Amino acid sequence: MALIIPNKYKQKLLPETTEIAIKNIKESFQQGLSEALNLRRITAPLFVLSGTGLNDDLNGVERAVSFPVAAMNDRKAEVVHSLAKWKRVKLNAYDIAPGYGLYTDMNAIRADEDLDNLHSLYVDQWDWEKTITPDDRNLEYLKKTVEQIYDVVKQNELRIYRQFPHITPILPDKVTFIHSEELLKEYPTLTPKEREEHAAKKYGAIFLIGIGNPLSNGEPHDGRAPDYDDWITPNCDGYVGLNGDLIFWNPILNTSFELSSMGIRVSPESLKAQLEQRGCMDRCKLNFHRMLLNGELPLSIGGGIGQSRLCMFLLQKAHIGEVQASLWPESQIKLCQEAGIPLL
């Protein structure tokens, strides 16, 4: 995604007022998320030890920022990409019962990001995880959870409107569920990103199911690491996959806008199948994978919700740098300044 400069962009809130609004959104959203999904807050690590399998591998090619720990004989630690697997270990450690879970403030550094309106070196998100039963490992349970999260987003959109009436709500009443294979059949000549844009613009808010498994054209809609979301198990709509992305249409940037990735997590069986498909069975030797394959971790559902992205969307900003402090190329800073887009 190249940098987008909207025509005649005008800030709806000055930077000083934006800071207040950011604080209010973050406080109200996490409270609403906690109540909707029965989650309690826990403290998150900024880094984990390398070689444990705990860090999120994202698409499997991104490099983690790492450093030697002098007090531990220079063992290598790495800054987290996300806490997708770490949270599941914590569910087990705290013996959290089915129907209940945890959330945390996750801060990460993704040094390989292409920097643009939506992507930053600094990632802040609410990482959440919830214990489920074997009977909950189905598409209906996933959809119900997505709807609960979407309702919390809608509540915060209305709260912003009441506080700042010139920021009018833009999200539809309901989120539309669609499988990535359905999108491919509808738009066979388009790229995955273009297919997302057509669907997001048509419906306003979609949950795109089935991220990671190859589609009928032999290519996955998008990359997903093989060891947290379950994207290989058949579901009730005739396709495969128990995961997806929550995507909105952003009229400020005239593009699709991903807010969250989430899914029912791998079982021992689906983990093995996904590792085999990706040719990385060597991960079975890592602590996390060994615990999961041995049945030592609870079944769960979980995901991440971008904090800065949520603030950016609800406050109708043109650049994520308007709601978080990060680093940007000088050329990008200059273009944004000229367009009236102040980066923090």
Q: Which residues are catalytic?
A: 56, 110, 125, 245, 258, 261
The sign of the torsion formed by the CA atoms of 184, 188, 192, 195 equals negative
Backbone φ, ψ for residue 55 (5° rounding)? -75, 150
Q: Report the C-alpha dihedral over residues 228, 105, 167, 151, rounded to 10 degrees.
A: 50
Nearest CA to 83 out of 37, 124, 131 is that of 124
- Asked if residue 173 lies in contact with residue 155, where contact means CB atoms within 8 angstroms, the answer is no
Per the CB < 8 A criterion, the answer to whether 231 and 209 are in contact is no
Looking up tokens 């990103």 gives 193
Write the Ramachandran bin of 341: left for phi over 0, alpha for psi from -120 to 50, otherwise beta.
Answer: beta
Report residue 64 CA to chain centroid gap.
Answer: 17
Q: Where are the alpha helices (DSSP H) in the chain?
A: 15-37, 86-93, 139-163, 180-186, 192-203, 268-278, 287-293, 307-314, 330-338
